[in-house]
Structure 1
Amino acid sequence: MSEQRHRGLTEQAADAAVDTACRVLRLPTIRGQCTATADAAEREQMTYRGFLAELLMAECEDRDRRRSERRIKSAGFPRQKFLRDFDFDANPNVTPAAVHTLATCEWVRKGQPLCLIGDSGTGKSHLLIALGTEAAMAGFRVRYVLAAKLVNELVEAADEKQLTKTIARYGRVDLLCIDELGYMELDRRGAELLFQVLTEREEKNSVAIASNESFSGWTKTFTDPRLCGAIVDRLTFGSNIIETGTDSYRLAQSRVQQAAG
């Protein structure tokens, strides 16, 4: 019997055993990196503990990354937007310090609301999606939805006697991002159903909204003054409010591109 066999498994048998064990234990990163890490450990004369730590840390980091990707995917964002891509120079109304403070997600941890108010093209949706993505990466359950789509879903659920279940589903996520609030008028029933969702989440879980209307103009969306006042109250109590202004960044970009062409 060879000296290698006296020491234990052959290299080939050891590789096969590691591969099988990693499949059983669902450790895909260790399975993929074990051979290369073992070769590097041998070259660098790493201790057994050091080698094991390298593998386990790689598995943990990769697992965190995969979880984040799943949370971002399940949030239902329509497109990818990140804070690093936000052009603060082109949006002088938005202060980097305020946004970077929000990026810590402490407001989500505390269940506080966030209101992004400004005209079309000023970066509201970008910030809404980017901050929602930050929350998902931080471990929070996030859901993105257009205001009109949410109201339509609630109306259908009410008609099918599934309203309690639907409201509970929207109530469970840590952060509910509602985009394009104010783009269309809601009838009293739709507004009341939306109010129920906000009430379900009040002081428990965060709501972030993006609206092209200042709060004083929300009577165009919520035509019942008392209901409008109650919804504004729900969204502004203890809220973080960022006003993105009236100058369209997208329009300015288009003009620059046209001039260059």
Structure 2
Amino acid sequence: MSTPQRGITEHAAQASIDHACRMLRLPSIRAAFPEMAEQATREQMSYLGFLAELLLTECDDRARRRSERRIKAAQFPRDKTLRAFDFDANPNVDPAVIHTLATCEWVKKGQALCLIGDSGTGKSHLLIALGTEAAMNGYRVRYTLATKLVNELVEAADDKVLAKTVARYGRVDLLCIDELGYMELDRHGAELLFQVLTEREEKNSVAIASNESFSGWTRTFTDPRLCAAIVDRLTFAGNIIETGTDSYRLAQTRARVEQAI
């Protein structure tokens, strides 16, 4: 590797490699090549081994960039990871169940996930973290607040583009709907949300986080029959995680106050 072929100098060979990487759009190889070439020379790596290392570097970086693009496209409001979730602070949440969900087999099967519990129990954290895992595993993910989604659907209906909007939400592999149950939805808004859920039924996954138990959803969806239909869409062959009623955010705040006194 230290002897350039075709009678060109070492400097000319490096310039040719740089130019070729630009033309072939191989930015990772272009950036890593000089250091990796020196390492290959020191370790007396074979030509095939060196080529494999270069190509794997490009593949790994492309996979990382694709994951970053999918996470950005999901429009999560903040970064949340499963590693940062405090399972000790919330014994209601079984780590084994969450880590099984992190394999994204449920997303592959088009199943639903319902995270039910009071404020401060980690619902949104888990929703975003599991959505992030799905994006990292190659799935198209979209996050939205329930009220924001309904408002967008109402505006789309007014602008005569409802079918297009429903189809757009139907195409993503995982739709994460946060804060379902915080506000009452009128019948029209609830019906539009039902359209989105129906569009995704048994095809693509939906994950929701709600501060209300299913029995309390009648306060959000005031039509009992529509409420029952929505619950049925979300619970059929789905996963239900109850995060409990004890806010660990509040517990942490109290602990900090006590330490400061």
TM-score (norm. length: structure 2): 0.97
Q: Distance in 1 between matches of 2:6 and 2:197?
A: 66
Name the residue aligned to 1:94.
93
Name the residue aligned to 2:253.
254
Q: Distance in 2 between matches of 1:9 and 1:96?
A: 59
3-state DSSP class of the match of 2:207?
Answer: strand
Q: Distance in 1 between matches of 2:59 and 2:4?
A: 33
Q: Distance in 2 between matches of 1:254 and 1:221?
A: 30
Name the residue aligned to 1:220.
219
* Residues 13-162 of structure 1 aligned to structure 2 (within 5 Å): 13-162=12-161
- In the TM superposition, what is the alpha-carbon distance from 1:6 to its structure 2 partner? 7.3
Give per-residue Cα distances to partners, 1:224-261, cap 9 Å, x unaligned: 00000000000000010000000001000000111111
- In the TM superposition, what is the alpha-carbon distance from 1:9 to its structure 2 partner? 2.0
3-state DSSP class of the match of 1:125?
Answer: helix
Does 2:204 align with 1:205?
Answer: yes
Q: Distance in 1 between matches of 2:5 and 2:253?
A: 73
Structure 2: which 5+ residue stretches go unaligned?
none
- In the TM superposition, what is the alpha-carbon distance from 1:11 to its structure 2 partner? 1.0
**CA shift in 2, pair 1:27/1:120, >3 Å:** same
3-state DSSP class of the match of 1:41?
Answer: helix
Q: Distance in 1 between matches of 2:98 and 2:149?
A: 26
3-state DSSP class of the match of 1:195?
Answer: helix
- In the TM superposition, what is the alpha-carbon distance from 1:7 to its structure 2 partner? 5.4
**CA shift in 2, pair 1:6/1:117, >3 Å:** closer
3-state DSSP class of the match of 2:83?
Answer: helix
3-state DSSP class of the match of 2:153?
Answer: helix
3-state DSSP class of the match of 1:84?
Answer: coil
The letter for the 1-side match of 2:185 is L
Please, which moves more after superposition, 170-179 or 11-20? Answer: 11-20
Give per-residue Cα distances to partners, 1:34-57, cap 9 Å, x unaligned: 010000000110011111011101
**CA shift in 2, pair 1:213/1:7, >3 Å:** same
Q: Distance in 2 between matches of 1:47 and 1:100?
A: 40
Does 2:233 align with 1:234?
Answer: yes
TM-score (norm. length: structure 1): 0.97
Give per-residue Cα distances to partners, 1:96-141, cap 9 Å, x unaligned: 0100000000000000000000000000000000000000000000
Q: Distance in 1 between matches of 2:159 and 2:113?
A: 31
- In the TM superposition, what is the alpha-carbon distance from 1:209 to its structure 2 partner? 0.1
3-state DSSP class of the match of 1:161?
Answer: coil
Q: Distance in 1 between matches of 2:198 and 2:4?
A: 68
Structure 1: which 5+ residue stretches go unaligned?
none
Q: Distance in 1 between matches of 2:113 and 2:5?
A: 66
The letter for the 2-side match of 1:133 is T
Q: Distance in 2 between matches of 1:5 and 1:134?
A: 44
Identity of aligned residues (%): 78
- In the TM superposition, what is the alpha-carbon distance from 1:26 to its structure 2 partner? 0.9
The answer to whether the Cα contact below 8 Å between 2:4 and 2:13 also exists between their aligned partners in 1 is no
Give per-residue Cα distances to partners, 1:66-102, cap 9 Å, x unaligned: 0000000000000000000110000100000100000
3-state DSSP class of the match of 1:208?
Answer: strand
